[in-house]
Structure 1
Amino acid sequence: MAQPPLIPPTPELTQLAQIIQLAVAPVFLLAGLGAFLNVCAGRLARIVDRARKLEPRILQSRGEEHDRLIREVRALDRRIAVVNTAIFASVLAAVLISLVVILLFGAFLSGYKFGTAVALLFIAAMVATGASFAIFLYETRLATRSVKIGNHILEHEAEAE
């Protein structure tokens, strides 16, 4: 059985293949942002769980213990706000990257030249991505500062039996 002759790709098909190749990198970036959002959401869940565990203890405590628990809950509340900001910046970056991909295909289909818009959106997406990472770094620093192990624990020695 004879093979039909191969039809050389049309310029339009070649251009579409190039657009798909251009869209692959932003799509991988979206996957990375999705993984980062998963980390942020997990961290947020752990912070909220800790705050919920402290709430009943606060209501039952008095004196120095009460003041310590209040300080811890305030720090947790601050961390919740910071993680939420990192999540917002990451989602914003993902939306901007999605717009980049949409405009790449929109330019191909419509013939309009969206090059400047694509470049500006991609720059904005990178700024939002960088901001989300920086905010996340700040949150990890807050978490590290809030964990203070007292010297009485660090220097504690068990009594001999």
Structure 2
Amino acid sequence: MNPLMEVASAIQLAVAPAFLLTAIGATLTVMTNRLARIIDRFRVLNEGRAKLSNDDLLELNMLRLRAKWTHWAIALTTLSALLTCIVIASIFIGTEIQFNFDQFIAFLFIGAMSALIFGLISFTREVTLSKNVVKQ
């Protein structure tokens, strides 16, 4: 195969992970916005710390817990994005140096999907905690 065809083939292989990267980026935006809202509410409650009611103290503890789950969701989803970037780079590097990175790419992609799964589970946990507060 000529070099131009090899690069074209690599581009075709990299398209799906590139779309995945776009979706991960949008998901990260949602997660960081939720974290920002949690932090804002925490700051509002913390300003009047001396006169907090028991309900406010419970809310502060819940906000801490939600922030922890959101942080894990962001960290794991970011790891997924980084691994996806390495997958894309590996596709092109393997094409350029004529080296078979198939197993390495498969391992990275499995890692990216695993990190994304656990990131989404963490995010779902945070949303559930948030919903339970409203329910009470």
- The bucket for the TM-score relative to the shorter chain is over 0.9
* CA distance, structure 1, for counterparts of residue 43 and residue 6 of structure 2: 55
Query: 1:27 and 2:18 equivalent?
Result: yes
1:97, 1:121 within 8 Å by CA — same for their partners in 2?
yes
* CA distance, structure 2, for counterparts of residue 28 and residue 110 of structure 1: 25
Give the AA of the match of 2:33. Answer: G
* CA distance, structure 1, for counterparts of residue 63 and residue 105 of structure 2: 39
- The gaps in structure 1 that reach 5 residues or longer are 1-9, 150-161
**Deviations 1:95-114, CA, capped at 9 Å, x for gaps:** 10011011101101111111
1:96, 1:124 within 8 Å by CA — same for their partners in 2?
yes
Q: Corresponding residue for 2:65?
A: 78
Q: CA deviation at 1:42?
A: 0.4
Give the AA of the match of 1:38. Answer: T
Which residue, out of 49, 74, 77, partners 1:90?
77
1:58, 1:69 within 8 Å by CA — same for their partners in 2?
no
* CA distance, structure 2, for counterparts of residue 120 and residue 56 of structure 1: 47
**Deviations 1:37-82, CA, capped at 9 Å, x for gaps:** 0000100011111111111333124xxxx21111110000111111
Q: Relative contact order: is structure 1 or structure 2 higher (C-alpha 8 Å, sep ≥ 6)?
A: 2
Q: Map residues 1-161 of structure 1 onto 2, 5 A cutoff.
A: 11-61=2-52, 66-149=53-136
* CA distance, structure 1, for counterparts of residue 31 and residue 24 of structure 2: 10
Alignment TM-score, normalising by the size of structure 1: 0.81
- The gaps in structure 2 that reach 5 residues or longer are none
Q: CA deviation at 1:148?
A: 4.2
* CA distance, structure 2, for counterparts of residue 23 and residue 148 of structure 1: 44
Q: Corresponding residue for 1:7?
A: none
1:19, 1:108 within 8 Å by CA — same for their partners in 2?
yes
Number of equivalent positions = 136
* CA distance, structure 2, for counterparts of residue 32 and residue 93 of structure 1: 11
Give the AA of the match of 2:12. Answer: Q
* CA distance, structure 1, for counterparts of residue 82 and residue 32 of structure 2: 18
Give the AA of the match of 2:20. Answer: L
Q: Which has the higher helix share?
A: 2
Alignment TM-score, normalising by the size of structure 2: 0.95
RMSD in angstroms over aligned alpha carbons?
1.2
